[in-house]
Chain A
Amino acid sequence: DTGVSQDPRHKITKRGQNVTFRCDPISEHNRLYWYRQTLGQGPEFLTYFQNEAQLEKSRLLSDRFSAERPKGSFSTLEIQRTEQGDSAMYLCASSVGRGAGNTIYFGEGSWLTVV
C-alpha cells in the first residue's frame, strides 16, 4: 500500500496558462476526491468520483476546472486560464466502499502558485 500519490508536488505558472495535476489513489479504492486548501483555511471539497463516474461537484469548481477519472483508477484535475486566486494546495484523497463513515486517505497535495 503506497498511499495516495500526487504529481507534481509544486507548480508555478503564469496567469492565463493551463495546468494539470495527476492523482493516483490507493490501489482498489473506488472513491476519489479532490479538495482545495488555501493558506489559513481548512480543505474545501471540490469533487468526487465513484469509479469513473463523477458524482458531485462543488460550486467552487468553476467552468475553468475539469476533473476526470477515465478508467476508474488515476484522476486528473485541469485548471484552464489560471488566475491568481487559484493559488492553493490541491489535495487528492481516496477511500474504499461506500458510506460517510469511511476513512478518507489524503495525498501530500500539489501546490499551485499563479504569478
Chain B
Amino acid sequence: AQSVTQLDSQVPVFEEAPVELRCNYSSSVSVYLFWYVQYPNQGLQLLLKYLSGSTLVKGINGFEAEFNKSQTSFHLRKPSVHISDTAEYFCAVNPLQGGSEKLVFGKGTKLTVNP
C-alpha cells in the first residue's frame, strides 16, 4: 500500500517570497508522483508530475518539484509567489505496477499568500 504525508497543513507567505511545500511518501513499489492544485470551490488541476528521467520537474505557473528517491520526497517549490497562488496543494502517488490507476493523495497543504 502507498501513503503520502504532507508535512505542513498550512503555509502562510508574503507575496514575492519563495515557498516550499513538503511531501513524503511511503511505498513498497516504485511510484509515479504528482502535484495537484485546488482553488476554492473548484476541482483539482495538475501542476506537474514525475514519471522518470530528470529528478527536477517543471510545471505550470512557475512551480517545480524535485524527486528524491533516497528520502522518498517530492517537494514543491516556487521562487516567487503571487496572491493568485493562494490555494490548496495536494501531493499524490500512483504505483507503476499492479494494474491499478488510483491516485493516493496526501491531506493537502493550504498555501496563503499575503500582500
Contact = CB atoms under 8 A, between A and B. Distances in A.
A58 B103 CA distance: 12
Nearest to A92: B43
Contacts of B90: 42-43
B49 A101 contact: yes
Contacts, number: 64
Interface residues of B, number: 26
Interface residues of A, number: 28
B43 A48 contact: no
Interface centre among B42, B105, B106 (most CB of A within 10 A): B105
A104 to B, nearest CB: 7
Interface stretch (A62-70, A72-80, A105-113): A105-113
Nearest to A10: B41
DSSP majority for the A interface? loop
A100 B97 CA distance: 8
A35 B103 CA distance: 9
Interface of A: 4, 31, 33, 35, 40-45, 48, 56, 58, 91, 93, 95, 98-109
Given A43-B90, A106-B36, 10 more contacts: A33-B101, A35-B103, A42-B107, A100-B32, A100-B94, A100-B96, A102-B101, A104-B101, A104-B103, A106-B45
Interface of B: 4, 32, 36, 41-46, 49, 51, 90, 92, 94-97, 100-108
5 contacts: A40-B108, A100-B32, A100-B100, A103-B46, A103-B49
